């Protein structure tokens, strides 16, 4: 894969680099002014609030330095769009801070811009502005903008005792894929076909945020969060913000065929429930809205599985029940950047 600094040709100026690789990504957004100024104009439509989220990805921390530039770019945009989706917001635009070991090669820049372009098209979002600079390590910080009807942003903190917990898609694939991508010894013996391995790794490299679910969430959910650091820790965060507790049935957590074939291994099950990078959405749905939420999710083309229930605070913040109703011990329950 292309290293940002490997090309020996004459380095592009910052101006030419932006004009060649990034201005085309801003062509669909008039407020970007072709990336020819230091600032963009973002005007949410009347009656809409702007929802703003920021996530940074650092080489060696959030991705492998030898990941394909297109995959790195896709993931950097996807993780931000996932936060928008969980807040019920429709993607609008994003600002990109890109710090690269320099001078960056055409292979790196071309791949990176192509990955951004593919992600933009998938998520219906446009580049509005940003900054490029030199850096000892590749770093991408994105601030993404979405819109919701005024006052309607969906927060983490609205879950009520009695609400049902739903999660989208399938959980755990990315955490399993990360172990395969890293070549961990214990993953070498997993009974998976080559196609299954590739599929799990792809789920780690190219998350698919659930943008199409935003309207159903706005219509029915009392709280939501995207599952980025692990189902267990993100469920605990939703509960803590809401002042409630939750119980999840491990057997109800939706799994891909590949993940299901590993779930009998205790360490794999723990990884599925606590590993990160799913970029699915966990939502609390009042029981009276459950049927409508399920129908609207289906109509949006997103599988939503009921995995548990919200309870009053008091006991443990989160209980995960295994086979026969026995609580599972999840250990540290997820990823934390500084104490994990």
Q: State the Rg of the chain over Cα.
A: 21
Query: CB of 193 within 8 A of CB of 273?
Result: no
> Does position 136 bind a copy of itself by CB under 8 A?
yes
> Does position 300 bind a copy of itself by CB under 8 A?
no
Peptide bond into 187 cis (omega under 30): no
Please report which helix (H) or strand (E) contains residue 242, including its range: helix 231-242
> Does position 113 bind a copy of itself by CB under 8 A?
no
Burial class (CB in 10 A: 0-12, 13-18, 19+), 184: exposed
**Interacting residues with a copy of itself between 231 and 250 (CB under 8 A):** 237, 241
> Does position 45 bind a copy of itself by CB under 8 A?
no
> Does position 38 bind a copy of itself by CB under 8 A?
yes
- CB 96 to a copy of itself: min, Å: 7
> Does position 37 bind a copy of itself by CB under 8 A?
yes
Contact with a copy of itself (CB under 8 A) among 35, 76, 139, 258: 139
Binding mask 211-230 for a copy of itself (x = CB under 8 A): --------------xx----
Binding mask 56-75 for a copy of itself (x = CB under 8 A): x-x-xxx-------------
SS3 53: strand
Please report which helix (H) or strand (E) contains residue 270, including its range: helix 266-274
Contact with a copy of itself (CB under 8 A) among 1, 19, 23, 33: 33
Inter-helix orientation angle 266-274/173-182, to 10°: 110
- CB 112 to a copy of itself: min, Å: 14
Q: How many CB atoms lie within 10 A of CB 100?
A: 23
Cα 23 from Cα 304, distance rounded (Å): 37
Q: Which is nearer to a copy of itself, 58 or 311 (CB)?
A: 58
- In 263-303, DSSP assigns E strands to 280-285
Extract the tokens encoding 207: 């998350």
Contact with a copy of itself (CB under 8 A) among 6, 27, 30, 36: 36
Q: Is the dihedral of CA 59, 60, 65, 71 positive or negative?
A: negative
Contact with a copy of itself (CB under 8 A) among 69, 117, 129, 230: 129
User: Which one of the spans 141-149, 211-219, 255-263, 318-326 is the region binding a copy of itself (CB under 8 A)?
Assistant: 141-149
Cα 85 from Cα 138, distance rounded (Å): 26
User: Which one of the spans 22-30, 123-131, 266-274, 312-320 is the region binding a copy of itself (CB under 8 A)?
Assistant: 123-131
Cα 7 from Cα 177, distance rounded (Å): 30
User: Which one of the spans 21-29, 145-153, 176-184, 318-326 is the region binding a copy of itself (CB under 8 A)?
Assistant: 145-153
Query: CB of 299 within 8 A of CB of 220?
Result: no
Question: Which residues of this protein are in contact with a copy of itself, per CB under 8 A?
Answer: 10-15, 17, 33, 36-44, 49-56, 58, 60-62, 83-84, 86-87, 89, 95-97, 99, 102-104, 128-137, 139, 141, 143, 145-146, 150, 153, 155-157, 225-226, 237, 241, 336-339
């Amino acid at each position: 894969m292309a290293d940002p600094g490997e090309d020996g040709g004459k380095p592009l100026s910052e101006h030419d680099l932006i004009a060649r690789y990034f201005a085309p990504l801003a062509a669909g957004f008039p407020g970007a002014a072709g990336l020819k100024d230091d600032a963009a104009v973002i005007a949410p439509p009347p009656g809409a609030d702007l929802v703003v989220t920021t996530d940074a990805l650092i080489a060696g921390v959030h991705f492998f330095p030898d990941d394909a530039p297109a995959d790195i770019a896709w993931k950097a945009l996807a993780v931000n769009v996932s936060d928008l989706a969980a807040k019920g917001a429709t993607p609008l635009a994003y600002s990109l801070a890109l710090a690269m070991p320099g001078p960056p090669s055409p292979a790196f820049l071309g791949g990176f811009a192509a990955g951004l372009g593919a992600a933009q098209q998938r998520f219906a979002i446009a580049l509005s502005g940003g900054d490029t600079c030199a850096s000892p390590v590749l770093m991408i910080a994105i601030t993404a903008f979405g819109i919701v009807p005024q006052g309607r942003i969906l927060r983490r903190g609205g879950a009520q005792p009695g609400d049902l917990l739903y999660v989208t898609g399938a959980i755990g694939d990315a955490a399993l894929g990360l172990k395969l991508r890293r070549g961990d010894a214990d993953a070498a013996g997993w009974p998976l076909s080559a196609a299954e391995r590739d599929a799990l790794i792809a789920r780690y490299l190219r998350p698919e945020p659930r943008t199409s679910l935003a309207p159903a969430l706005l219509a029915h959910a009392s709280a939501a969060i995207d599952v980025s650091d692990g189902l267990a820790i993100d469920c605990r965060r939703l509960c803590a913000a809401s002042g409630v507790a939750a119980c999840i049935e491990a057997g109800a957590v939706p799994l891909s065929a590949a993940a299901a074939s590993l779930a009998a291994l205790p360490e794999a099950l723990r990884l599925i429930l606590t590993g990160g990078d799913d970029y699915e959405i966990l939502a609390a749905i009042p029981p009276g809205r459950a049927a409508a939420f399920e129908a609207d999710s289906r109509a949006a083309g997103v599988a939503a599985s009921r995995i548990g229930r919200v309870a009053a605070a008091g006991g443990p913040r989160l209980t995960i029940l295994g086979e026969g109703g026995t609580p599972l011990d999840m250990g540290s329950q997820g990823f934390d950047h500084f104490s994990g």
